[in-house]
Each structure stands twice: as C-alpha cells, then as structure tokens.
Structure 1
Amino acid sequence: MAWSVQTPAGRFEVHALVDDQELDSRASTGAIYWEGLCELRSIGADGKSVRVGNGYLEMTGYANALRL
C-alpha cells in the first residue's frame, strides 16, 4: 500500500512497511483508521525513487466523515 504526496519540495510516496494496519473501530469509537510503520520515498524527474526517511503514520477520516 502506498500514497502519493505532492509538496512544494517535490513528489513523494509513503509506503506501508507492514500489511493489514487498518483498524475498524466503528463499534467503539465510530472511526476507521490506519496506523503503522512507513517509509518515505522521494520521486525524481526520471521516475526513480530514493528512500529519504521512515516514520509512523496515523490517518482517520478517509473512509467517511466522523460525527462528533
């Protein structure tokens, strides 16, 4: 799984390092969220990617809007 990100500093891809990191907690918190280890890759003009960092990403709100 990967996400593409375009910023003023360039084009990047965030790659999940472990599969199945999405959690469905609609029964308790009402949210579906993704969290886990990831790798950041810079995408050059030639389309080649270079690893530029590692991180931990948490995302919510991508499945549907949360009612608070």
Structure 2
Amino acid sequence: MRKDKEKVLDEVWTEDHVKSFLDVRPHDGSDEDFYMLLKAYQSMRASDFELFVQFFCGENRNLNAT
C-alpha cells in the first residue's frame, strides 16, 4: 500500500458520517438496501455498523435485502 494510502484505524465516526451511508446508491441497478448494507458493513467497525443498522431500520429499509 502506498504511504499516502495507509489504512486509517480507530477513526472516530460521527453519527452524520454513519448516516451518510444511507445516501449510498448502486450504479448497476442492484437492490439499494442490499448495497447500502454491504458498503456500510465493509467500511465500518462493528459498533459503527450497529448504529448504522438502527438508522437503516428507522427509515423502514429492508434488513433482509439480497
């Protein structure tokens, strides 16, 4: 990995940063809810993802999306 692209560990995620994943949309026609969950899961620590799921469900999104 290049020096300017080092992985950031222990980054503090604000609620706004976590909520911003509710605006992520697929570019290939995939299911929006599945895509949001996947990107959030891949990008967040477990505790941040738990918070995201609360926001996600609060917007009546499909937690069982595939």
Which interval holds the TM-score relative to the shorter structure? under 0.3
| TM-score, structure 1 as length reference | 0.25
Larger RCO (CA under 8 A, 6+ residues apart): 2
| TM-score, structure 2 as length reference | 0.25
Structure (1 or 2) with the greater helix fraction: 2
Structure (1 or 2) with the greater strand fraction: 1
